[in-house]
Amino acid sequence: MMVYLVEDSPVIRERLRDMVMELDPGTTVLEAASPGAAIAGIVERRPELVVLDLKLEGGSGLDVLREVNEKVPACRVIVFSNHASQPYRKKCMAMGAEWFFDKAQDFELVRDKVRQVAGAASDGTESGKKI
């Protein structure tokens, strides 16, 4: 499986990378801190899963979400943000995110979803979201 981490904080990126690698050491983990780098990398590499922050270096995760949904619709997206208010949640879900978690309290839920997607990818039961 391939996971793309889109997060501007090096500390949180490292924590997410460690968590993904602990779940499945065979997973390829790619990273970006800005919308432009994230969009280019995701479109080129086509990961199964993106973990996306909304506040990024020089822009917004909403731009990434819009482009990913348009150009790589089979890619599954977890939004993981400090901006966890209901309007952000609704907007992200309407734009194609499958899950939305609050950084302050939902790290274990992100772990569970990554494990779920990795399990589905490895056994072929679910190749991605429906397009």
Instruction: Show me where the domains of the chain are located.
Output: 2-123
pLDDT band at 118 (very low <50, low <70, confident <90, very high): confident
Give the model's pLDDT for residue 131.
Answer: 31
User: In terms of pTM, does the model score above 0.85?
Assistant: yes
Helices of type H across the chain: 10-23, 35-45, 61-71, 86-94, 107-123
Give the model's pLDDT for residue 128.
Answer: 46
pLDDT exceeds 90 at position 95: yes
The candidate with the shortest Cα–Cα distance to 13, out of 43, 42, 56, is 56
Spatial distance between the Cα atoms of 54 and 52, rounded to a whole number of angstroms: 7
Spatial distance between the Cα atoms of 97 and 100, rounded to a whole number of angstroms: 7
> Which fold would CATH assign to domain 2-123?
Rossmann fold (3.40.50)
Give the model's pLDDT for residue 123.
Answer: 66
